[in-house]
Amino acid sequence: MKRILNVTPLSEIGVFVAKLSVGFLIMRHGLPLFDRVEMQNLSAFLRESGFVAPVFMAHLAKATEFFGGILLGLGLLTRIVCPMLAFTMFVIVWKMGDLDFLQQELPTLFLLFFLLFFFHGSGKWSLDRWISEKWVD
């Protein structure tokens, strides 16, 4: 019973599964980066929403989601990529949802996960840890 109630070993597994899942989900949101029509539609939407340099911003947001999701899922550069992903989600909630976190549930959840992963770090099961143990020190 004590082993089941001890959270330490299971917490790293939970963080790993969450990072892998959230990384995959946000990566899928970045897939329109490779679809010209989708990017034109997003750029037009951003232009109508008042964004400066909407084509650049659309590509930047989708590239951050796609490549950031891959890096997050692998546990590589977690503390670098999470602020970028969190900022992207904050802009979505701020600009497209008028800072209504309750109406923008999905970006808000992503934002909270990215903050959690930033503060927690890469965790035990990550490429960051493997690289630091293998080549750093």
Query: Are the CB atoms for 121 and 79 separated by under 8 Å?
Result: yes
Please provide the average confidence, as pLDDT, over all residues in the chain: 91
Task: Note the pTM of the prediction, 2 decimals.
Answer: 0.88
In sequence order, the 6+-apart residues with CB closer than 8 A to the CB of 52 are none
Please write the tens of the pLDDT for every residue from 58-109. 999 999 999 999 999 999 999 999 999 999 999 998 887 777 777 788 999 9
Give 2's pLDDT tier (boundaries 50, 70, 90): low
Domain boundaries, the chain: 2-135
Overall residue count recorded for the chain in this entry? 137
Rounded Cα distance between 7 and 3, Å, is 8
